[in-house]
């Protein structure tokens, strides 16, 4: 679809977007979109790592030891500790 657009049409579309959202809000929107993409990417990596750690061969080897994992933390951006929050994981329960 983009291949059919002429340069003038693309400029007009960008101008309409700029008028609708305003020049001040566009950088903020792009920044929040980037943060969301970063969070999504880090969560996908964490899920892959969790899946690799709980493979059948690993579970059989570590089940008798009863290791308690450290609580996980989600960070909005690398090095950003102000927005870090603990993850409530219902699969890990403590027994008293």
SS3 per residue for 31-92: HHHHHHHHHHHHHHHHHHHHHHHCCHHHHHHHCCCCCCCCCCEECCCCCCCCCCEECCCCCC
Give the pLDDT of the chain (96 residues) as one tens digit per residue. 567 888 999 999 988 988 888 878 888 888 999 999 999 999 999 999 888 887 655 455 555 555 666 677 665 666 565 665 565 655 655 554
Domain boundaries, the chain: 23-51
Q: Which two three-digit tokens encode residue 73?
A: 């933390």
What pLDDT sits at residue 64? Answer: 52
Angle in degrees, 0-180, between the axes of helices 25-53 and 7-21, rounded to the nearest 10: 90
């Amino acid at each position: 679809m983009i291949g059919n657009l002429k340069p003038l049409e693309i400029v007009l579309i960008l101008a309409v977007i700029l008028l609708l959202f305003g020049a001040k809000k566009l950088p903020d929107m792009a920044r929040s979109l980037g943060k969301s993409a970063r969070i999504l990417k880090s969560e996908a990596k964490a899920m892959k790592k969790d899946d690799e750690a709980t493979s059948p061969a690993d579970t059989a080897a570590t089940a008798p030891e009863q290791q308690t994992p450290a609580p996980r933390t989600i960070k909005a951006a690398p090095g950003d500790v102000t927005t870090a929050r603990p993850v409530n994981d219902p699969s890990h329960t403590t027994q008293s």
